[in-house]
Structure 1
């Protein structure tokens, strides 16, 4: 017996805006991006998440916020 799982992830950018602060690597501007992620199993949605991610606009690094 062989099982084949067809999982797929779809990401969509919802919006982009400037965030306060500077990049610690190059002193560039920081932008906040809202990203929607869907996990699909055979075209049926399993998981739906909206996250905010931070990127530098000049060196394109992903920045992590520690509270």
Structure 2
């Protein structure tokens, strides 16, 4: 008996907007991007998540908040 586990995640950009502050590495502007993540198991949607990601506009580094 073969069991195939097929799991896939699709990301879709919803919107971009300016974020307050500046990049700690280069000092450029920071943008916030809202992303919808859809998880699928064998082509059946399991869940939807909406996350906000921050990144620098100049050096393109992904920035994370620690609090």
Partner of 2:27: 27
- Equivalenced residue count is 67
SS in 2 for 1:66: coil
Superposition misfits of 4+ residues, deviation over 2 angstroms: none
Tell me the secondary structure at the aligned position of residue 16 of structure 2: strand
TM-score, with length taken from structure 1 = 0.94
Structure 2 residue ranges without an equivalent (≥5): none
Give matches, 1:13-24, under 5 Å: 13-24=13-24
Q: Offset of 1:27 from its aligned partner?
A: 0.2
- Distance in 2 (CA, whole Å) between partners of 1:7 and 1:23 is 34
TM-score, structure 2 as length reference? 0.94
The alignment status of 1:51 with 2:51, answered yes or no, reads yes
* 1:28-52 alpha-carbon deviations (Å, 9 max, x no partner): 1000000000011122111210000
The CA RMSD over aligned residues, in Å, is 0.8
Query: Which residues of structure 1 form unaligned runs of 5+?
Result: none
Deviations, residues 8-60 of structure 1 (Å, cap 9, x unaligned): 11000000001010000000100000000001112211121000010000000
